[in-house]
Amino acid sequence: MERATIRLTLLSLLLICVISTPIKKPRDVDIYSFHINSTVNSRYAITVITSRVANRLSESKEIHFQVKIPKNAFISKFRMTIEGKTYDGVVKKKEEAQQQYSAAVSRGESAGIVGSVGRTLEEFKTSVTVAALSKVTFELTYEELLKRRLGKYKLQINAQPMQPVADFKIDVYINENPGISFLEVQGGLKTQELFNAVISTLADSTKEAWVNFYPTREQQTKCEGCGENGLNGDLLIEYDVKRPKQNGELRASNGYFVHYFAPTDIQQIPKNMVFIIDRSGSMHGRKINQTRTAMLKILEDLGQDDYFGLIIFDSEVDVWKAELLQATKQNLKQAKDFVKNIKDRGATDINAAVLKGVDMIKRYPREGSASILILLTDGDPTSGETNTERIQANVKAVIGGKFPLYCLGFGFDVNFDFLEKMALENDGVARRIYEDSDADLQLQGFYEEVATTLLTDVQLKYPGGANLTQTSFRQYYNGSEIVVAGQITDNSLETLQTEVIAISKNTNVTYQDSISTKDVIDILPQHENFIQRLWAYLTVKQLLEKEVALKGIEKEAAQKKALDLSLKYEFVTPLTSMVVTKPQEEETQVAHKPKEGEKPTTTYHGLKDDMHSYDYEMSYSVARMDPLKPVPRPTFITQTAVIQTVGNVRFLISAQPKQICYDTPAGHKLRLFSDNSDISINGQLSDNGFTLVAIHYKTAKLLVSPAESVYSDGENSVKFVWGQPSSHESENIAIFQRSNELDITMGSVRVVLLIHKNRGDDFLWPVVHQQGKDPNITGILGKADLQYEELPGSKLKIKDQEVEAPQSSAIDYRFSAAPRVNCWLVPFQSALQGELSDFTVSQL
């Protein structure tokens, strides 16, 4: 089966200006954490980019944050956290956002709108002025329904942070109910140097998959294409799903449903294809050469049952043959000779060329075949009929809804709006062919997507469903997928029925299925609304496409519905913008989503005009200093600054001659231990110790509380009760319950959880006894020992940093007897070489 490519692409890029000196010094502006977390549930991807940046200077500094997101995605959240205060973006109607933006400009405040488009990505920028010794956190969320192309979905993550990042992570989680048929990780970041940093896991049930990319600082500088500016490359995750039923996959939750339809066991329908090729003077040079190269390859791929025609045009229209010919070896050889001799010349008569193509197909109909017109042009109509609206009307009238027209626009000078409207009015799509070195491959790739027709006149019906997305499709191609979503408005409806009627080769076919409207199996609580958001996303997308070809009242109605949904679900679409305002200074920035084909524009000083970017900039100031921030030399943190914190829990790190201790605020979910051996340990910290600890190993999970412990491997579960000795052993896993401790070995890591009591409350204390050989250990318990140097005046030197370290004491809960020991009390950051936020997790 040919495979389709779904591109979920993401390029993360932060621009930091650093002055180079012969002596290596810490960066003035440090991106100390950069996380990309993408969750894909039944093709619907929600991606969150979180960047934490610290200004290490004693003066304010402007920081630029820049990421690239998939062109088909909608931004749904953006927030900045500055000194504990959060500033959220608000999605508004585009005109209202523009008024707020204009008001900010009139006050002389820095604000900007930049809207332009790349090949598969859009670029999002923001800048913020960070006060001395302060930090800022950026969080951007976007959503996208993945489309299937050539038999697979592709998740492409480009990484170019412009500096090595201590805590750089890409986490991808995929959940597909029918099962994942294959999972592959490729790309420029999966090199020999970074091989160990990429971990991919496919659950035994095949319904879930995880891909994690955790490169160390050293790996970020030594990989191919990397250097002192860090990573520069991409990670490609390709997968497809199992399709046990020809009638597709049907899912329902909370009054919404989605139906995925992609049958495969069907005979190919012979096709009639007419290629309409622009040979006007503007196609001179590389464009015409690449077109010839692509057409030669496409002709080789035609099936023997296919019929085809070739039309070339400038101000005149010429045909290779007056009728469609079968793709025999002899005919293909003659066609290739014709293609090799295509020369650029003259003006552009699109109207006459397309009408000629329609006439060729209509004059030579074939029963049981599928007809397709493909137009390739790089410019506006400049000869014959030049009024684009009249051309659109002419083409729509002669095609009469009988077959699709696909329009390929070559380069950025083409009138893409005109091509898009003409294609959409005739059941096709418009695609831009970028004038790059691989333009011939882009042309071939598009042809491959429509090369194998399996069904025509596909109609999908859902009795009891309402507010449906598109349910009628002219053709279904091998390797693609039809997706329909809707609402279940009848509360008494217990079963949702589906029916698909279509025409396959020489016969009519019907597919039927049903699902309980209460069936939410395999949908976790945190994901239960994804079907509703998928429906909203797909509805808005299709309305925006549909309104292009509408007029008058119908156009206004489609725009209003798309606008209302965009505002309700807070999507940044071509009809909405996101406004971010800092209340104290009333600074305002506006993010717009650009249209395909818009030329790059910029209204913010100092920014490079980039046709491959989608930007907006903002500027803020921050002031206060967080008591948990690391303090650059020679400033010291005093004992008072630490011990006055309310609700702290004291931890110990082994060291000689005296142990190191540090305080951690209670009430956080902490990352206790994580490495590259598929094991992670997280815990909920209370005022005494841990009230809940979760240990994950591959697809297994152990949840430990002061009451009981439950181990589950996805199929079986085992319960352990404190005070009742028991054990469980399986491959690479051993769990032993003793009177007051739980001894766990998973893979190469061994951890013991002790239960203690303080002021009548039971709590847990985990101790890592064996860490394995992995050097890339993170988490509070990953710090086995710490080297330091004693200095006069109750000071210690840790990692070249001098800190105040008064003598203190702590209870050592790593032992059942819980002895009290002497220790040097140091700040959290000095002990663990990181921020508290580096060791927190959103869920256990």
pLDDT digits (tens, 9 = 90+) for 618-671: 222 222 223 333 333 332 222 222 323 347 888 888 776 677 888 988 888 898
Higher-pLDDT residue of 730, 606: 730
Residues near 551 by beta carbon (within 8 Å), at least 6 away in sequence: none
Q: How confident is the model at residue 815 (pLDDT cuts 50, 70, 90)?
A: confident
Q: Cis omega before residue 26 (within 30°)?
A: no
Containing H/E element for 94?
A: helix 94-106
Over residues 218-226, the mean pLDDT reads 76
Q: Which two tokens stand for residue 76?
A: 């749904």
Question: What element of type H or E holds 253?
Answer: strand 249-253
The pLDDT of residue 19 is above 70: no
Mean pLDDT, residues 521-526: 50
CB count within 10 Å of CB 434 equals 16
Sign for the CA dihedral angle at 328, 334, 338, 339 comes to: positive
Q: Does 75 have pLDDT greater than 80?
A: yes
User: Any bridge partners for residue 669, and if so which?
Assistant: 684
Mean pLDDT of the chain: 80
**Closest by CA position to 57, among listed 165, 167, 137, 131:** 131
Q: Report the 10 Å Cβ neighbour count for 751.
A: 23
For residues 459-480, average pLDDT = 93
Partner residues linked to 580 by β-bridges:
589
Chain centroid offset of residue 640 CA: 45
Q: Where is pLDDT greater, at 222 or 346?
A: 346
Contact 127, 136 (CB under 8 A): no
**Rounded-to-integer distance, Cα 382 and Cα 385, Å:** 8
pLDDT band at 559 (very low <50, low <70, confident <90, very high): very high
Return the DSSP state at 459.
Answer: E
- What is the rounded distance in angstroms from the CA atom of residue 390 to the CA atom of residue 344? 26
**794 close to 805: Cβ distance less than 8 angstroms:** yes
Between residues 94 and 148, the one the model is more confident about: 148
What is the rounded CA–CA span in Å between residue 687 and residue 690? Answer: 8
Decide: 250 and 517 in contact? Cβ < 8 Å.
no
Residue pair 614/66 in contact (Cβ under 8 Å)? The answer is no
Q: Which residues partner with 661 through β-bridges? A: 652, 825
Write down the pLDDT at residue 637.
27
Phi-psi region of 25 (alpha: psi -120 to 50; beta: other; left: phi over 0): beta
What is residue 320's predicted lDDT score, i.e. its pLDDT?
94
Q: In the structure, what pLDDT confidence band is assigned to residue 569 with cuts at 50, 70 and 90?
A: very high
pLDDT over 90 (residue 493)? no
| 289 band by pLDDT with thresholds 50, 70 and 90 | confident
Whether residue 374 contacts residue 275, with contact meaning beta carbons closer than 8 Å, is answered with: yes
350-363 vs 388-399: helix crossing angle, rounded to 10: 0
Sheet with strand 587-592: strands edge to edge: 90-93, 576-582, 587-592
Beta-bridge partner residues of 250: 259
Q: What average pLDDT does range 35-56 have in this prediction?
A: 90
What size, in residues, is the chain? 844
Burial zone of 321 (CB within 10 Å; 0-12 exposed, 13-18 middle, 19+ buried) = middle
- Determine the distance from the C-alpha atom of residue 464 to the mean position of all C-alpha atoms in its chain, rounded to a whole number: 33
Euclidean distance between the first and final Cα of the chain, in Å? 41
Higher pLDDT among residues 311 and 789, named by residue: 311
Residues 106-126 pLDDT 10s = 665 544 333 334 567 787 877
Reported as a single tens digit per residue, the pLDDT across 734-755 is 888 877 888 888 887 878 898 9
- What are the residues whose beta carbons fall under 8 Å from the beta carbon of 338, sequence distance 6 or more? 310, 320
pLDDT band at 187 (very low <50, low <70, confident <90, very high): confident
Q: Which two tokens stand for residue 5?
A: 């490519």
Strands, E, within 42-84: which ranges? Answer: 44-55, 61-70, 74-82
| Strand duo 717-721 + 307-313: pairing | unpaired
**Cβ neighbours of residue 608 closer than 8 Å, sequence gap 6 or more:** none
* Reported confidence tier of residue 365, pLDDT bands at 50, 70, 90: confident
360, pLDDT greater than 80? yes
Q: Hey, which of 236-245, 278-287, 447-456, 475-484 has the most confident mean pLDDT?
A: 475-484
pLDDT, mean of residues 376-387: 88
CATH class of 7-17+31-243+571-615: mainly beta
CA dihedral 570, 576, 577, 583 (to 10 degrees): -60
Residue 357's pLDDT is: 95
- Long-range Cβ pairs for the range 574-577 (8 Å, 24+): 574/94, 574/544, 575/93, 575/94, 575/544, 576/91, 576/92, 576/93, 576/94, 576/97, 577/91, 577/92, 577/93, 577/94, 577/97, 577/98, 577/101
DSSP string, 331-380: HHHHHHHHHHT----S---HHHHHHHHHHHHHHS--TT-EEEEEEEESS-
Per the structure block, which two tokens stand in for 549?
Answer: 């070809």
Among the ranges given (502-506, 587-591, 733-737), the one the predictor scored with the smallest mean pLDDT: 587-591
Token code pair at residue 670: 């902490």
What letters, b where the CB count within 10 A reaches 16 and e where it falls short, cover 82-92?
Answer: beeeebebebb
For residue 585, pLDDT over 60 is answered with no
Strand partners, 36: 49, 170
Strand-pair partners of 3: none
Contacts for 467 with CB less than 8 Å, ≥ 6 apart: 486, 487, 489, 535, 539
Q: Are 80 and 73 in contact (CB under 8 A)?
A: no
pLDDT of 521 strictly over 60 = no
Cα–Cα distance, 507 to 454 (Å, whole number): 12
- Asked if 453 contacts 366 with a C-beta cutoff of 8 angstroms, the reply is no
CA 374 to chain centre: 31
Q: Which residue has the higher pLDDT, 727 or 179?
A: 179
State how far Cα 74 lies from the chain centre.
Answer: 11
| Count of beta carbons in the 10 Å neighbourhood of residue 576 | 26
Which residues on neighbouring strands pair with residue 82, listed in sequence order? Answer: 85, 136
What class does CATH assign to 271-451? alpha beta
Q: What residue ranges do the domains of the chain occupy?
A: 7-17+31-243+571-615, 271-451, 639-839
Determine which of 123-127, 413-417, 578-582 has the lowest per-residue pLDDT on average.
Answer: 578-582
| Per-residue model confidence (pLDDT) at position 657 | 66
Determine the 3-state secondary structure of 262 from DSSP.
coil
User: How far is C-alpha 771 from the chain's CA centre?
Assistant: 33
Residue 315 reports pLDDT greater than 80: yes
421 CB neighbour count, 10 Å cutoff: 20
Query: Are 296 and 313 spatial neighbours (Cβ–Cβ below 8 Å)?
Result: no
Residue burial 120-140, b: 16+ Cβ < 10 Å; e: rest:
bbbbbbbbbbbbebbbbebbb
pLDDT at position 367, please? Answer: 82
**Measured between alpha carbons, how far is 280 from 480 in angstroms, rounded to an integer?**
33
The pLDDT of 272-299, averaged and rounded, is: 88
Give the per-residue pLDDT at 520. 45
The conformational region for residue 645 under phi > 0 = left, psi -120 to 50 = alpha, else beta, is: beta
Residue 565 has a pLDDT of: 95
The pLDDT score that the predictor gives to residue 832 is 85
pLDDT-based confidence at residue 542 (cuts at 50, 70, 90):
very high
pLDDT tens digit string along 794-812?
Answer: 888 888 888 888 888 888 8
Strand partners, 524: none
